C-alpha cells in the first residue's frame, strides 16, 4: 500500500496522523544540497510510528516534529524545513472526545449537544442503575466503572480528550480529577460552587495533587450564559469546551478584535 493510500485509509477509519510531503527544495545545507525531492512523503501516526522518508535525515526529523504538533492541533499547514525545503503537513484526526463523569440528568442534554456538534461523548459512572445505555442513547459508550478502570477501558487519556466532572460526589469527583490532572487531557472541568471548589482543593492537596495542577480545573465549569435549565447548563459547558479546543476565551463576537468568525464551509 502506498503512503497516500495508507493515509487515506487512516482518515477513513477515524485515525490520527499526518502525511508530510516535500513541496519544494531550495538552498543549501552546510554539507551540501538537501538530499530530497518534491513529492517525497513521510507518514506519521499518533503513536509516533513512521513510514517512508523524505530522503534526508534532517528533513525527516523536522517533518516528524511538525507532524506530531499539527496532528494534535488538528490542522494542516505549509511549513519550512532545513535547507529551505517547504513541507506540506496534511493532518487528520477523529472527532474530539468528551468524557462525562456523572450520569446525572443534564448529562443527557450534554451528550445530545456534543453529538450534534460532532463530538464523541462518553458517560462514566460506577452507579450501574444510572449509567445505562437507555438513559444515554446519544453516548458513544456508557461505562459503569470507577474512573481508573473506566479510563483504561476507554484507551487512556490523550491530548485530544476533554473531561467534564459533573457528579457532585466527592468520592467520584476526586478519583476522576486525580487521574485527569496527571494526564495530558486538553480540558478538565468540574461542577461545584465556590465553597465546594475550596473544599475540593483541600482534599486534592491532601491526596498529593501538586498545587500547580489544580489551576488546570475549569470550575465552575462552563461559560457564563446565565443558564438555568439542564439544556442551558449543557450549552454553557459545551460552549466552553469548544472555545478551549479552538484556543478562544468564549466572549461575545461583537467584542472580538481578532480571529476568524463563523468560518463555515458551504
Q: What is the pLDDT of residues 73-108, one digit of tens each?
A: 899 999 998 888 999 999 999 999 999 999 998 899
Instruction: Determine which of 74-83, 198-207, 225-234, 247-256 has the lowest per-residue pLDDT on average.
Output: 247-256
Domain ranges in the chain are 3-92, 97-245
Check residues 132 and 193 and name the one with the higher pLDDT: 132
Compute the distance between CA of residue 191 and CA of residue 181 in angstroms, rounded to an integer. 15
Residue 190: pLDDT over 80: yes
Compute the distance between CA of residue 180 and CA of residue 158 in angstroms, rounded to an integer. 10
Q: Provide the CB-side half-sphere exposure for 50 (13 A, CA).
A: 17
Residue 29: pLDDT over 50: no
Alpha helices, DSSP H only, in the chain? Answer: 3-12, 57-73, 105-116, 147-153, 170-181, 194-206, 211-214, 230-245
The predicted structure's pLDDT at residue 50: 94
Q: Cα dist. 7→13, 14, 76, 201 in Å?
A: 10, 11, 14, 44
What are the grid coordinates assigned to 42, written together?
Answer: 513521510
Check residues 87 and 25 and name the one with the higher pLDDT: 87
Compute the distance between CA of residue 210 and CA of residue 236 in angstroms, rounded to an integer. 28
Mean pLDDT over each residue of the chain, to the nearest integer: 89
Give the three-state DSSP class for 60: helix
**pTM across the whole model:** 0.83
| Helix 170-181 / helix 194-206 crossing angle, nearest 10 deg | 60
Compute the distance between CA of residue 66 and CA of residue 265 in angstroms, rounded to an integer. 26
Residue 262: pLDDT over 60: no
* Angle at CA of residue 176, ends 171 and 177, nearest 5°: 100
Compute the distance between CA of residue 240 and CA of residue 71 in angstroms, rounded to an integer. 22
Residue 246: pLDDT over 60: yes
Nearest in space to 180 (alpha carbons), one of 221, 141, 225, 134: 221
Compute the distance between CA of residue 261 and CA of residue 68 in angstroms, rounded to an integer. 27
CB atoms within 10 A of CB 260: 9
Q: Cα dist. 58→10, 169, 193, 224 in Å?
A: 26, 52, 52, 48
CATH architecture of 97-245: 3-Layer(aba) Sandwich (3.40)
Give the three-state DSSP class for 246: coil
Compute the distance between CA of residue 75 and CA of residue 123 in angstroms, rounded to an integer. 28
* Angle at CA of residue 90, ends 87 and 70, nearest 5°: 90
Across 38-54, average pLDDT: 93
Across 195-209, average pLDDT: 91
Residue 34: pLDDT over 50: yes
Give the confidence band of 244 by pLDDT, cuts at 50, 70, 90.
very high
Residue 33: pLDDT over 60: no
Whether 246 and 264 have beta carbons less than 8 Å apart is answered as no
The predicted structure's pLDDT at residue 266: 40
Amino acid at each position: 500500500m502506498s503512503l497516500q493510500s495508507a493515509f487515506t485509509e487512516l482518515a477513513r477509519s477515524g485515525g490520527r496522523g499526518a502525511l508530510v510531503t516535500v513541496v519544494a527544495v531550495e538552498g543549501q545545507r552546510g554539507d551540501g544540497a538537501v538530499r530530497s525531492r518534491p513529492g517525497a512523503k513521510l507518514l506519521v501516526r499518533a503513536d509516533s510510528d513512521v513510514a517512508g522518508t523524505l530522503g534526508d535525515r534532517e528533513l525527516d526529523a523536522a517533518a516528524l516534529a511538525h507532524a506530531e504538533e499539527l496532528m494534535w492541533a488538528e490542522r494542516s499547514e505549509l511549513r519550512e524545513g532545513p535547507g529551505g525545503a517547504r513541507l506540506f503537513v496534511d493532518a487528520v484526526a477523529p472527532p474530539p472526545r468528551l468524557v462525562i463523569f456523572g450520569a446525572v440528568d443534564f448529562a443527557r442534554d450534554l451528550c445530545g449537544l456534543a453529538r450534534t456538534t460532532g463530538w464523541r461523548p462518553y458517560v462514566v459512572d460506577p452507579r450501574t442503575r444510572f449509567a445505562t445505555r437507555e438513559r444515554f442513547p446519544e453516548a458513544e459508550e456508557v461505562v459503569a466503572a470507577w474512573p481508573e478502570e473506566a479510563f483504561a477501558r476507554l484507551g487512556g487519556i490523550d491530548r485530544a480528550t476533554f473531561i467534564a466532572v459533573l457528579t457532585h460526589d466527592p468520592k467520584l469527583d476526586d478519583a476522576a480529577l486525580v487521574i485527569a490532572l496527571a494526564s495530558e487531557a486538553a480540558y478538565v472541568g468540574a461542577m461545584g460552587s465556590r465553597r465546594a471548589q475550596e473544599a475540593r482543593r483541600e482534599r486534592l492537596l491532601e491526596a498529593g495533587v501538586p498545587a500547580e495542577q489544580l489551576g488546570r480545573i475549569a470550575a465552575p465549569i462552563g461559560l457564563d450564559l446565565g443558564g438555568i435549565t439542564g439544556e442551558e447548563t449543557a450549552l454553557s459547558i459545551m460552549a466552553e469546551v469548544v472555545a478551549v479546543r479552538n484556543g478562544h476565551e468564549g466572549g461575545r463576537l461583537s467584542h472580538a478584535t481578532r480571529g476568524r468568525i463563523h468560518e463555515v464551509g458551504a
